[in-house]
Amino acid sequence: MKKQELHQIANGIYEVVIGIPEVHTPTAHRSVQMRKEALMALPDARPGRAVEILRALSFRISQRGVLLRLPMDPSENIYGFGLQFFGINSAGKRRLIKVNSDPVADTGESHAPVPFYISSSGYALFVDTYRTATFQMGTVAKKGASRSMRIENEAHTEFSESALYALKKSAQEREILIEIPRCNGVRCIAIEGSILECVQRYNLFSGGGVCPPEWGLYPWYRLYGGCDQKEALRMAKEFRADGMPIKVIGIEPGWHSHSYSCTYRWSDLFPAPQEMIDQMQEMGYALNLWEHAFVYPAAEFYEELLPYAGDYEVWNGLVPDFAGKEAREIFKAYHQKHFIDRGISGLKLDECDNSDYNPSDWSFPECSQFPSGMDGEQMHQALGILYQDTIRQAYAERGKETYSEVRSSGALASPQPFVLYSDLYDHRKFITALVNSGFSGLLWCPEVRDCVNGDDLLRRLETVIFSHQALINAWRIPMPPWKQTDIDLSLAKIQMEDAPYYTAACRKLLEVRISLIPYLKKAFEEYQNSGKPPIRALVMDYPEDPNVADIGDEYLFGDEMIVCPLTYEEGTRKEVYLPKGRFYGFFDKRFYEGGRSLTVDVPYDEIPVFVKESSGI
């Protein structure tokens, strides 16, 4: 087995093919093509670290699969790997690229892990696989690498677990080990440039960033799962009466006549859906429907789909093989006729991930077989992205735009009009996920649900309005959270005492979101054309500043704003770091000198947002 000659595939992008790659890979299944002209428009990339890395790459193919070995300098910082909840820098970590909706620890598993990383040393690497690959980012050292370290520690002056176990980072040679199991070959794509340039090139390689329709950037609200048609319309009117500027209303599982798995047919709770859709539109709303991809026997297209589904069921439903044309066509045609042509603006694609840590163990097994030839392991990595692509195409074929949510994603996702979300609900981790999403072509919504109290609600809503999608997901609570945050009291329909205060405070925050739409739209247009993500870790824009390398709780929102969300647990005071420059407080309207850490006092109804003085905003 051979490593083929390295060749250039676009400005700043190179590939090598090792052995015999699999038939089913992210690039083989892409339907949005690389943006070659947009890549040409980026500054010329000379062959540099990426070319060096591909040349240095060594490999072994065995029964274990493919093993790749790459050099790593101990000073390198590593970013990417998709939606990660625990931190932004993966140097010195092992990343398992396995879809999992309930990651219990910092293993790399998540709703949207991506076999793509960016090194601060001037390159990025994308491994074109749906396998559950493992990336060891400088965690291992080859036999003899520590030979020169003959320093003893007789005094043992420092005693702590971390001091005992720490890898002596600077003294050893490091390497990156990538294991891709159960295959005989793989395509590796290396990208030249700074962290930001690598991300831009990866996104343009993926087909460019998505630019959502303007209505998608307005506030969203998902209604209580138990609501019916009458209640949905009543809530829609209540928002208007309370002056809550909600634009998109989402209806949760109860609209299906059977929802786990789905029939994609209205239940008795919604006796006249078209009337409801029309009335919602008259009130200025776009309507979105929840679903997942598992097709219940009572669904109209069940029999037609049967030959084009995997050999195992999920929740008694078929798993469509979206890697094949037939399943996609059947699914698309039904959705076009029943939803897209009738005015539904988008579909929330739930549960296309899976979980090894959830006691109900609900998804298909890894050994499943799909008619396209994909196995269950590959399909777990692919389902989210193929499902998004099917629905994206269904809208595109009707000349309509969509913007919605999805619970799993993966490689080459940037052109997909879907935002990730999770049931995990840890605000701190949600902020880290938001910062990380921008490294790997993903969008993320740290959605608001029920809350500990009103101040927790405000803190969560603040992060949400400075995110890719301003969504309140009230599927578990019948009353809006600004009227009752507590789940039991909400079910008992008891309003909290200070509901008027929190209603007004939330309205104010939602209005801030609306005032930001033109600015955000511009940032998304740039995402589409140049691959620059609208939300970015500070290290992307300030690579020269060593203080920002690990900052995972602050981010750039567009080109002009730095957002530093607080969680309720953090209270009203926080130390933030501002990079070099002069900034203007968005809420407190004070000037701040950057290049330093500072402590800010922030009431619960405000969020520290710093606008570059030069921006003119």
Contact set with ligand GAL (CB under 6 A): 225, 252-253, 290, 350-351, 407, 423, 473, 475
* Complex with ligand GAL: residue 238 or 423, whichever CB lies closer: 423
* Complex with ligand GAL: residue 252 or 456, whichever CB lies closer: 252
> Taking the complex as a whole, how short is the minimal distance between the CB of residue 404 and ligand GAL, in angstroms?
12
CA 30 to CA 205: how far, in whole Å?
11
> Taking the complex as a whole, how short is the minimal distance between the CB of residue 473 and ligand GAL, in angstroms?
5
> Shortest CA distance to 404 belongs to which of 207, 217, 203?
217
* Complex with ligand GAL: residue 187 or 407, whichever CB lies closer: 407
CB 240 within 8 A of CB 234: no
* Complex with ligand GAL: residue 351 or 541, whichever CB lies closer: 351
CA 521 to CA 89: how far, in whole Å?
29
* Complex with ligand GAL: residue 22 or 447, whichever CB lies closer: 447
CB 292 within 8 A of CB 352: yes
Q: How many CB atoms lie within 10 A of CB 285?
A: 22
Task: Summarize the chain as % helix, strand, coil (round to 5).
Answer: 30, 25, 45
Beta-strand pair 13-20/123-127 = unpaired
> Taking the complex as a whole, how short is the minimal distance between the CB of residue 434 and ligand GAL, in angstroms?
17
Transcribe 112-149 into DSSP letters.
Answer: SEEEEEEETTTEEEEE---S--EEEEEEE--TTTTTT-
Please name every residue paired with 187 in a beta bridge, in sequence order, or none if there are none: 17
> Taking the complex as a whole, how short is the minimal distance between the CB of residue 294 and ligand GAL, in angstroms?
12
CA 20 to CA 435: how far, in whole Å?
36
CA 371 to CA 389: how far, in whole Å?
19
CB 535 within 8 A of CB 467: yes
CA 486 to CA 211: how far, in whole Å?
36
**Amino acid identity for residue 405 in this structure:** E
> Taking the complex as a whole, how short is the minimal distance between the CB of residue 385 and ligand GAL, in angstroms?
18
Helix/strand/coil for 561: strand
Question: Quick check: bond before 355 cis, omega within 30?
Answer: no
* Complex with ligand GAL: residue 153 or 360, whichever CB lies closer: 360
DSSP designation for 548: G
CB 124 within 8 A of CB 12: no
CA 38 to CA 30: how far, in whole Å?
18
* Complex with ligand GAL: residue 179 or 231, whichever CB lies closer: 231
> Taking the complex as a whole, how short is the minimal distance between the CB of residue 355 and ligand GAL, in angstroms?
11
* Complex with ligand GAL: residue 76 or 351, whichever CB lies closer: 351
* Complex with ligand GAL: residue 261 or 473, whichever CB lies closer: 473
Q: Which residues are CB-neighbours of 523 under 8 A, at least 6 positions away?
A: 534, 557, 558, 559
> Taking the complex as a whole, how short is the minimal distance between the CB of residue 425 and ligand GAL, in angstroms?
10
> Shortest CA distance to 275 belongs to which of 220, 322, 342, 222?
342
* Complex with ligand GAL: residue 351 or 606, whichever CB lies closer: 351
> Tokens standing for 484?
């009752």
* Complex with ligand GAL: residue 228 or 375, whichever CB lies closer: 228
* Complex with ligand GAL: residue 47 or 226, whichever CB lies closer: 226
Ramachandran region of residue 601, left (φ > 0), alpha (ψ -120 to 50) or beta?
beta
> Taking the complex as a whole, how short is the minimal distance between the CB of residue 442 and ligand GAL, in angstroms?
17
> Taking the complex as a whole, how short is the minimal distance between the CB of residue 235 and ligand GAL, in angstroms?
16
* Complex with ligand GAL: residue 466 or 475, whichever CB lies closer: 475
CA 56 to CA 70: how far, in whole Å?
6
**Amino acid identity for residue 288 in this structure:** N
CB 581 within 8 A of CB 611: no
**Amino acid identity for residue 2 in this structure:** K
> Shortest CA distance to 17 belongs to which of 185, 190, 189, 187?
187
CB 136 within 8 A of CB 169: no
Q: Identify the helix (H) or strand (E) that includes residue 163.
A: helix 161-165
> Taking the complex as a whole, how short is the minimal distance between the CB of residue 543 and ligand GAL, in angstroms?
36
* Complex with ligand GAL: residue 252 or 401, whichever CB lies closer: 252
DSSP designation for 336: I
> Taking the complex as a whole, how short is the minimal distance between the CB of residue 405 and ligand GAL, in angstroms?
8
> Taking the complex as a whole, how short is the minimal distance between the CB of residue 290 and ligand GAL, in angstroms?
5
> Taking the complex as a whole, how short is the minimal distance between the CB of residue 433 and ligand GAL, in angstroms?
14
> Taking the complex as a whole, how short is the minimal distance between the CB of residue 262 and ligand GAL, in angstroms?
11
